[in-house]
Amino acid sequence: MGIDLAKMVAAAAKYPLIKKYSTTQIYTARFKRPRYVLGYTNTNVLVRAAHKDVKLSKTGYLDEAGRCLTMLRRIGNKYVVLLMLDSFGKRSPIGDGNRIKKWLQTGKQGRVAKSAYKI
C-alpha cells in the first residue's frame, strides 16, 4: 500500500494545481449557481504554518488506515515522500513528519509520547 501511495504522490506532484491547492493555507471558493461561498482551511498544520518545504500534502482518515498524512517535502536538496498511516493521535502525523525530517537531516531520532508506545 505504501508504494502505491508514494507513486500517487509523485504523480500528483506533476500537476501544478494539485500542488497549489494542497499547499494553500486557506481558500475561499465562490459559486455562481447556486450562489454561495465556501471556505476551506488546510488540515496540515505544517502548511498552515507556512513551511515552504512542503510541496504537496494530503491529510485524511480511513477505517482501514486510521489517521493519515502524506507529503512531498524538500529535505536538504532532495524531495522525499513521507507517508504516515494509522497515527496515534490527531496531530501525531505532523510530529511524525517532523521527526522523520529531523532524522534524515541529522541522524538523531526525536522523542515520541510514551502513550504512543501503549497501542
What's the pLDDT at 39? 96
What's the pLDDT at 95? 84
Q: What is the pTM of this model?
A: 0.79
Starting at the earlier edge strand, list the strands of the sheet with 78-87: 54-62, 66-75, 78-87
Task: Quick: pLDDT tens for 38-52.
Answer: 999 999 999 998 889
Q: According to the CATH classification, is domain 2-112 in 3.40.710.10?
A: yes
What residue segments make up the domains of the chain, in order of their start?
2-112
Grid cell in block for residue 116:
504512543
Residue of 42 and 62 predicted with greater confidence: 42
Grid cell in block for residue 56:
504537496
